[in-house]
């Protein structure tokens, strides 16, 4: 199939078969499309996607049992070397199979053959701008030579028209853009000299953009390079944090002494209260947030939850989004990569949906709220506190700062961060109190798991601690001020091997409800509840997370587990329109063309966010392929015998309803590269993509 030809033609025409657009499938929960059509049903087999017989094909090695879903690989930045809470081999148990994982992945280098100097990269050919490095500069300054020999020829997708320029009337990749012929011209001067110039629809905008360095249109939370340099040189003063941490160090010392003595000496236990000194300042009152039935939430997703993907999800109805997890220390060191993760699309800086009257939240005004929150991880309170001060000071568009207490990967766990915090409740409480103290009006939340080990579930105790605080601290300073808790219904040890435990989530949801109603009376035993120490809206919101893959499951969790909202992770990568299904309350049988349109959107949004030059294009390609490594898992509901579809069901080999549907279901990463070429042009020879798992199957290493 000549995929390249497809772009620019009406998609329905390229599928071979004519293809219906989305069918809205409105069914009762237990009725399948096949049953509706009057076909007798085969019984549903647990773990196997119930594909109608006529779509099954014979493909040895593609039995569902051969595909062991291991989303662990996708979640981690690195592969874990311990799969449980313990270190070293498990007694009497088998070590988890590691051999299929691609631990060291390389994607090749995506640069031009010869580098064009920045001093000429955005300016007209005869611009008098001189190069800062002068004679020492080894990059090209001759524009014509660069266009001819220094880079690949323009790509021909999108009719050769730069998608960024078409949308914004300007292109931040300048001369390096691989569609530059569509936004450049040669002008002839009176003296006969011919000059190459870039064309913009709006000159002022392009000048402003040049000033803003690597800022991209529609992208918010761009931190000036100067700030990152200042952070790196330790030139940024964290007055609030320093003051708070000084107090915290003394208080922790006092508390430790008290803790060790209290077991056998009641008078000593009271000593802490007697010696307690107030923190140097109280937290500021927080902006109100709200999580409800109408706010399905996109989970923080390392690698996958990048800006273009989140933008697509918001367009499809996600009401709350989170950044990929950033490490606290690199943020404090001004590292570009981690600050880049904090950027958001302007659509994420808009208010989340709110149905007034659905829940009694009289104090909430969604016009003052926004969708985008960030997630950080830290192993020590000082890192979490300072990183929070930095984020809330430098990022204007921020709903919430979430602390990751679920990341299972070894590197994070062993440092004492991520899921290790589940077993360090006192440290975690101090972190949250400190973050809350320095975050100004931005609320703080936590994402947790059921525990580290399967035989020791700790989340119930932890939610009490997060909602109310430990008895001693609660009496002295009130509640920690945790605005929301998300519980992923699995342990660290379990990873993705079993289904998420929604009955445990329901038990925790009931506890939180109880704590929320108790909160005032509990805090009142010592002092009047202080609005500044209470979480947003005076209560802690509780979100459940795990395996949600349809509006049916979403609403079932809302109604049965009684969570405030549901966070969706892998379900959104496999089926980003899950948010649309939730909004409309029905299944949407998206056609292959419509699904391909989402791929095209990802490509466009990727180029807008990362650039349309060699680097940006191939960065987009890499993340598009990561997306496709999940997206291929979608089994169209129109070919299923039973509903609801389940995230962990695996299909036998099947063909789609047309060629494109079959192609989109391919697990071969070479097919994913072909799909990427439809929108990004041919992959350069040096381009490499290693799926996270060598068998290209579902196996992926997944942080939280
Ligand atoms: C690829 C991938 C990346 C993830 N990255 C993060 C992360 O950065 N932070 C986090 O708290 N959880 C992370 N998680 C966990 C998810 O947020 C979520 O808790 C988990 O996938 C369970 O939800 P699901 O069953 O809806 O996927 C990641 C999961 C996956 C699959």
- Helix/strand/coil (H/E/C) assignment for every residue in 323-388: EEEEEHHHHHCCCHHHHHCCCEEHHHHCCCCCCECCECCCCCCHHHCCCEEEEEECCCHHHHHHHH
Neighbours of 142 (CB within 10 A): 15
- Band of the pLDDT at 437, cuts 50, 70, 90? very high
Give the residue, out of 72, 74, 299, with the most ligand 1 atoms within 8 A of its beta carbon, to mutate for a pocket test.
299
Residue 106 has pLDDT above 70, yes or no: no
pLDDT in tens, 244-289: 999 999 988 888 877 777 665 656 656 777 778 889 998 999 999 9
* pLDDT value, residue 137: 93
Closest CA to 101 of 73, 71, 62: 73
Please name the residue whose Cα sits nearest to atom 21 of ligand 1: 569
What is the distance in A from the centroid of ligand 1 to the CA of 367?
Answer: 28
Strands (E), 513-564: 541-545
Q: What's the CA gap between 430 and 643, in Å, rounded? A: 45
Tell me the helix, strand and coil percentages in the chain, rounded to 5.
40, 10, 45
- CB of 447 sitting under 6 A from ligand 1: yes
Residue 236 has pLDDT above 80, yes or no: yes
**What DSSP state is assigned to residue 186?**
E
Residue 482 has pLDDT above 90, yes or no: yes
Please name the residue whose Cα sits nearest to atom 22 of ligand 1: 546
* pLDDT value, residue 688: 78
* pLDDT value, residue 58: 81
- CB of 75 sitting under 6 A from ligand 1: yes
Instruction: Report the relative pairing of strands 372-377 and 401-405 from DSSP bridges.
Output: parallel
pLDDT in tens, 376-401: 999 999 999 999 999 999 999 999 99
* pLDDT value, residue 696: 39
- In this prediction, the answer to ipTM > 0.95 reads yes
- CB of 419 sitting under 6 A from ligand 1: no
Number of H helices, E strands in the chain: 24, 14
- Band of the pLDDT at 80, cuts 50, 70, 90? very low
Please name the residue whose Cα sits nearest to atom 18 of ligand 1: 569
- CB of 299 sitting under 6 A from ligand 1: yes
CB 397 within 8 A of CB 67: no
- CB of 479 sitting under 6 A from ligand 1: no
- Band of the pLDDT at 74, cuts 50, 70, 90? low
Q: What is the DSSP string of 213-259?
A: TT--TTEE-PPPHHHHHHHHTT----HHHHHHHHHHHHHHHHHHHHH
* pLDDT value, residue 264: 59
Residue 631 has pLDDT above 60, yes or no: yes
Q: What are phi and psi of 227, to 5 degrees?
A: -70, -40
The pTM for the full model equals 0.89
pLDDT in tens, 23-58: 666 554 445 555 555 556 778 888 899 999 999 998
What is the distance in A from the centroid of ligand 1 to the CA of 568?
Answer: 8
Q: What's the CA gap between 180 and 162, in Å, rounded? A: 7
SS (H, E, C) 434-470: HHHHHCCCCCEEEEEEEECECCECCHHHHHHHHHHCC
Residue 366 has pLDDT above 50, yes or no: yes
Q: What's the CA gap between 399 and 364, in Å, rounded? A: 13
Residue 360 has pLDDT above 80, yes or no: no
* pLDDT value, residue 685: 82
Q: What's the CA gap between 341 and 687, in Å, rounded? A: 23
What is the distance in A from the centroid of ligand 1 to the CA of 364?
Answer: 28
First to last CA, the chain: 40
Give the residue, out of 501, 569, 629, with the most ligand 1 atoms within 8 A of its beta carbon, to mutate for a pocket test.
569
Q: Which of 54-63, 287-296, 373-382 has the lowest mean pLDDT?
A: 54-63
* pLDDT value, residue 108: 63
Neighbours of 672 (CB within 10 A): 26
- CB of 574 sitting under 6 A from ligand 1: no
Which tokens is 230 given? 């200042």
What is the distance in A from the centroid of ligand 1 to the CA of 74?
Answer: 9
Q: What's the CA gap between 395 and 373, in Å, rounded? A: 11
CA geometry: angle 439, 564, 30, nearest 5 deg: 150
- CB of 300 sitting under 6 A from ligand 1: yes
> Where is 401: in which H helix or E strand?
strand 401-405
pLDDT in tens, 495-508: 787 899 999 999 99
**What DSSP state is assigned to residue 125?**
T
Question: Once rounded to an integer, what is the mean pLDDT over residues 289-317?
Answer: 97
What is the distance in A from the centroid of ligand 1 to the CA of 405?
Answer: 12
pLDDT in tens, 578-629: 999 999 999 999 999 999 999 999 999 999 999 999 999 999 999 999 999 9
185 vs 30 pLDDT, higher one: 185
Q: Which of 101-115, 185-199, 294-308 has the lowest mean pLDDT?
A: 101-115
* pLDDT value, residue 214: 61
* pLDDT value, residue 42: 79
- CB of 703 sitting under 6 A from ligand 1: yes
Residue 115 has pLDDT above 50, yes or no: yes
- CB of 331 sitting under 6 A from ligand 1: no
> Tokens 């000429």 correspond to what residue?
120
Question: Once rounded to an integer, what is the mean pLDDT over residues 615-644?
Answer: 95
* pLDDT value, residue 88: 35
What is the distance in A from the centroid of ligand 1 to the CA of 587?
Answer: 24
CA geometry: angle 505, 506, 512, nearest 5 deg: 90
- CB of 568 sitting under 6 A from ligand 1: yes
Please name the residue whose Cα sits nearest to atom 12 of ligand 1: 704
Question: Once rounded to an integer, what is the mean pLDDT over residues 431-451?
Answer: 97
> Is the link from the previous residue into 644 a cis peptide, with omega within 30 of 0?
yes
Residue 19 has pLDDT above 80, yes or no: no
Q: What's the CA gap between 227 and 621, in Å, rounded? A: 30
**Crossing angle of helices 502-524 and 459-468, rounded to 10°:** 30
* pLDDT value, residue 104: 58
CA geometry: angle 449, 582, 641, nearest 5 deg: 95
* pLDDT value, residue 84: 33
* pLDDT value, residue 556: 97
Residue 238 has pLDDT above 50, yes or no: yes
CB 215 within 8 A of CB 172: yes
What is the distance in A from the centroid of ligand 1 to the CA of 22?
Answer: 28
Residue 65 has pLDDT above 60, yes or no: no
Question: Once rounded to an integer, what is the mean pLDDT over residues 277-302?
Answer: 93
- CB of 297 sitting under 6 A from ligand 1: no
Q: Which of 108-112, 151-155, 360-364, 518-522 has the lowest mean pLDDT?
A: 518-522
* pLDDT value, residue 93: 41
Instruction: Report the relative pairing of strands 372-377 and 344-345 from DSSP bridges.
Output: unpaired
* pLDDT value, residue 101: 52
Q: What's the CA gap between 98 and 681, in Å, rounded? A: 35
* pLDDT value, residue 636: 97
**What DSSP state is assigned to residue 399?**
S
Question: Once rounded to an integer, what is the mean pLDDT over residues 142-156?
Answer: 95
Q: What percent of the chain has pLDDT over 90?
A: 66
What is the distance in A from the centroid of ligand 1 to the CA of 321?
Answer: 12
Q: Which residues contact 671 (CB under 8 A, 6 or more apart)?
A: 663
Q: Find the DSSP H helices in 632-700.
A: 659-664, 669-680
Give the residue, out of 417, 420, 488, with the most ligand 1 atoms within 8 A of its beta carbon, to mutate for a pocket test.
488
- Band of the pLDDT at 99, cuts 50, 70, 90? very low
Residues annotated catalytic, as ranges = 407
Q: What's the CA gap between 52 and 593, in Å, rounded? A: 21
**Crossing angle of helices 592-610 and 307-315, rounded to 10°:** 130
* pLDDT value, residue 13: 33
Q: Which of 2-6, 118-122, 296-300, 367-371 has the lowest mean pLDDT?
A: 2-6
Mean pLDDT of the chain: 85
């Amino acid at each position: 199939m000549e995929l390249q030809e497809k772009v620019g033609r009406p998609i329905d025409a390229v599928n071979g078969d004519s293809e219906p657009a989305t069918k809205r499938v409105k069914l009762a929960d237990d009725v399948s499309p096949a049953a509706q059509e009057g076909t007798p049903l085969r019984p549903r087999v647990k773990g196997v996607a119930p594909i109608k017989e006529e779509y099954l094909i014979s493909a040895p090695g593609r039995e569902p049992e051969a595909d062991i879903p291991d989303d662990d690989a996708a979640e981690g930045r690195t592969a874990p070397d311990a799969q449980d809470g313990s270190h070293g081999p498990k007694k009497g148990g088998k070590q988890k199979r590691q051999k299929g994982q691609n631990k060291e992945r390389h994607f090749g280098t995506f640069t031009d053959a010869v580098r064009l100097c920045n001093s000429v990269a955005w300016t007209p050919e005869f611009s008098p701008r001189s190069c800062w490095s002068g004679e020492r500069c080894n990059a090209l300054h001759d524009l014509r030579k660069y266009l001819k020999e220094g880079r690949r020829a323009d790509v021909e997708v999108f009719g050769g028209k730069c998608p960024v320029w078409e949308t914004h009337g300007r292109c931040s990749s300048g001369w390096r853009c691989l569609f530059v012929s569509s936004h450049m011209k040669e002008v002839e001067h009176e003296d006969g000299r011919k000059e190459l110039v870039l064309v913009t629809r709006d000159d002022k905008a392009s000048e402003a953009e040049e000033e803003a360095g690597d800022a991209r249109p529609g992208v918010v939370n761009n931190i000036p390079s100067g700030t990152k340099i200042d952070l790196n040189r330790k030139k940024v003063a964290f007055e609030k944090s320093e003051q708070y941490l000084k107090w915290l160090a003394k208080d922790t010392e006092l508390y430790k002494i008290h803790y060790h003595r209290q077991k056998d000496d009641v008078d000593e236990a009271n000593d802490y209260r007697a010696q307690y000194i107030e923190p140097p300042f109280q937290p500021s009152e927080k902006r109100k947030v709200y999580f409800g039935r109408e706010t399905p939430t996109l989970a923080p997703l390392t690698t996958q939850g990048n800006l273009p993907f989140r933008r697509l999800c918001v367009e499809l109805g996600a009401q709350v989004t989170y950044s990929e997890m950033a490490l606290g220390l690199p943020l404090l060191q001004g590292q570009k990569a981690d600050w880049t993760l904090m950027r958001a699309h302007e659509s994420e800086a808009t208010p989340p949906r709110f149905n007034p009257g659905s829940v009694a939240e009289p104090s909430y005004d969604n016009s003052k709220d926004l969708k985008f929150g960030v997630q950080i991880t830290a192993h020590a309170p000082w890192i979490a506190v300072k990183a929070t001060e930095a984020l809330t000071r430098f990022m204007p568009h921020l709903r919430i700062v979430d602390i990751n207490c679920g990341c299972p990967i070894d590197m994070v766990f062993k440092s004492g961060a991520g899921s290790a915090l589940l077993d360090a409740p006192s440290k975690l409480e101090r972190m949250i109190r400190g973050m809350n103290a320095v975050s100004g009006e931005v609320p703080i939340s936590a994402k947790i798991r059921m525990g580290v080990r399967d035989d020791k579930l700790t989340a119930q105790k932890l939610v009490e601690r997060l909602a109310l605080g430990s008895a001693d601290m609660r009496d002295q300073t009130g509640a920690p001020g945790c605005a929301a808790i998300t519980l992923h219904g699995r342990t660290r040890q379990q990873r993705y091997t079993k289904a998420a435990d929604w009955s445990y989530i329901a038990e925790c949801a009931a506890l939180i409800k109880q704590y929320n109603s108790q909160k005032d009376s509990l805090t009142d035993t010592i002092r009047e509840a202080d609005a500044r120490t209470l979480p947003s809206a005076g209560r802690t919101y509780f979100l459940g997370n795990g395996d949600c893959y349809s509006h049916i499951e979403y609403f079932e969790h809302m109604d049965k587990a009684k969570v405030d909202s549901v966070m969706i992770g892998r379900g959104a990568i496999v089926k980003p329109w899950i948010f649309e299904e939730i909004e409309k309350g029905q299944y949407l049988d998206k056609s292959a063309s419509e699904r391909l349109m989402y791929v095209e959107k990802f490509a466009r949004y990727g180029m807008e966010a990362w650039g349309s030059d060699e680097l940006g294009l191939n960065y987009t390609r890499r993340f598009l392929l990561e997306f496709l490594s999940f997206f291929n898992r979608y089994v169209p509901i129109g070919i299923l015998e039973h509903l609801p579809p389940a995230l962990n069901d695996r299909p036998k080999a099947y063909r789609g309803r047309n060629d494109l549907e079959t192609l989109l279901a391919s697990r071969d990463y070479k097919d994913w590269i072909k799909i990427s070429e439809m929108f990004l042009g041919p992959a350069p020879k040096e381009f490499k993509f290693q799926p996270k798992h060598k068998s290209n199957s579902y196996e992926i290493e997944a942080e939280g």
